[in-house]
A and B are shown apart, each in its own frame.
Chain A
Amino acid sequence: MLDSGTSNALTHESSFRPNKRAQAKFQTRCRIVAAAEQLIMERGFEAATMRDIAAAADVSTGAVFASFTDKHDLFEAVMVASTEQVARRVTAMRAESEGPVLQQLLDIQRELYAFYLARLPLVRAFIAQMWARVGVGELLERSARKPARDVFEAVLLSGVRSGELSEALDVEQASDVLWDCYLCNYRGAVFDQWDLDAVMARAKVQVEQLLCGHLRG
């Protein structure tokens, strides 16, 4: 039997040999995450129980707890999975875009909003969990908030580099403000039935207001 850790110096083939059990576990994990996302979308975070998620994933409750410490842990995986989807699109956009900073930021926000407005129960659960416990919040911070906020920061930095934005701009604080304003607009969707256009209309004036003092020329 081959030791899966043996490296073959003669070829560059990975020494990793997919272990069937690991694969099965990974697939189970994916099913559970998908089921969790589905149930949280349908019923909200509180009402989606681990037992029901297990049933929807067609596994035992024990199997769920073998992969996830608790519901917060599972929810973090749900957020990571969803963030990855939208992050791919945003990264692709960034690679192609060359327009003004304002437009870039709005295009990115439109992408994020389009994705998450269709998943509002996840957003609501995310915001609630963000404040739950230090450990939980920090995981969500890394998996969900930071990726978006860092993209905003990257756009601002490129704007400074290109001379479109003043060098005096406090990029760090501006990125935080952009994120806070971006997040607060979900309130409109949750409580005031804002659709994508309404959210984007608000986002546009916010970003314009924030940047107008820093545009050069």
Chain B
Amino acid sequence: MRVREAQKQATRDRVVTAARTLFETAGYEQTTIRMIAEQAGVAIGSVFTTFSGKADVLNHILLERFEALFDELDRLAPHLRGTTRERISALLGIAYGVECQRMGLMLAHLAASHGWPEEIEAESRRRHERLFALLRNTLGQGVASGEVRADADLDLLVHMIVAMYRGNYRAGWYDGCDAEALSARMDQQLAVLFLGLAPVETRTAIAA
């Protein structure tokens, strides 16, 4: 029994490694299960005993990747200085820096993320909860410090910020922007958003 489990794990690892390479080089859409199987040196059938499909493999790869990124963000967050907006900008800048090194995988994630099965969407949301919580907490600190108005809908803001963050990969992809350029865009977009987040008294002062 243990031997079979070990074999299954070995197959799983080879599939993951092969898929990672192929998603990165050939792209998610172009990569087929057959290609993954060939690259991994396993039978097509064995791919399906370890994963339910291509989206499942991608999800697994991303799971590892995002866990590492979120660990890093959690580690760095307490050391960040500056305004709430600057801290959020810094966090997402770090994310861009990391993800742009494996742009193909991020693009695969974005491509797959509207078409994958519900279980994988549920898994993906669970996985991202750490990032959402970090952003929510940072915004919450902004409320506590008076930078962000008390009645701000933090969940709404987190979702908007994540939508903006993901959307910028499009510029990275089409316009060849690097991580720094994406960070700069994000910063400008956060500026637009944050003007509406200042407590009312402060805002009238800014507008004057």
Contacts and interface: CB of A to CB of B under 8 A. Distances in A.
Interface stretch (A57-65, A79-87, A111-119, A177-185): A177-185
A213 B173 contact: no
Contact of A128 (B112, B164, B188, B196): B112
A123 B198 CA distance: 35
A176 interface: yes
Interface in B177-208: 185, 188-189, 191-198, 203, 207
Contact of B111 (A132, A179, A206, A213): A132
A173 interface: yes
A210 B174 contact: no
Interface string A119-135: 00001110111111110
Interface stretch (A14-22, A91-99, A186-194): A186-194
Contact of B193 (A123, A184, A186, A210): A210
B24 interface: no
A211 interface: yes
Interface stretch (B7-15, B36-44, B113-121, B132-140): B113-121
A130 B163 contact: no
Given A169-B192, A206-B156, A214-B196, A183 B163 contact: yes
Interface residues of A, number: 41
A102 to B, nearest CB: 12
Given A124-B115, A170-B192, A130 B170 contact: yes
Contacts of A197: none
B110 A131 contact: yes
Nearest to B122: A191
A180 B28 CA distance: 22
Contact of A132 (B29, B162, B196, B203): B29
Contact of B164 (A125, A170, A177, A205): A177
B76 interface: no
B146 interface: no
B29 A177 contact: no
A213 B205 CA distance: 12
A130 B166 CA distance: 13
B65 interface: no
A213 B198 contact: yes
B159 interface: yes
Contacts of A107: none
Given A176-B189, A183-B163, 12 more contacts: A124-B114, A125-B115, A128-B29, A131-B107, A131-B173, A170-B192, A173-B191, A173-B192, A177-B193, A181-B164, A184-B166, A206-B156
22 contacts: A44-B115, A127-B115, A130-B110, A131-B29, A131-B108, A131-B110, A131-B173, A132-B27, A133-B29, A137-B170, A137-B174, A169-B192, A173-B188, A177-B160, A180-B164, A184-B162, A186-B114, A191-B121, A209-B160, A213-B194, A213-B195, A213-B196
Complex A-B, nearest 9 residue pairs according to Cβ-Cβ distance, in ascending order? A213-B195, A213-B196, A180-B167, A131-B111, A184-B163, A212-B196, A127-B114, A131-B107, A180-B163
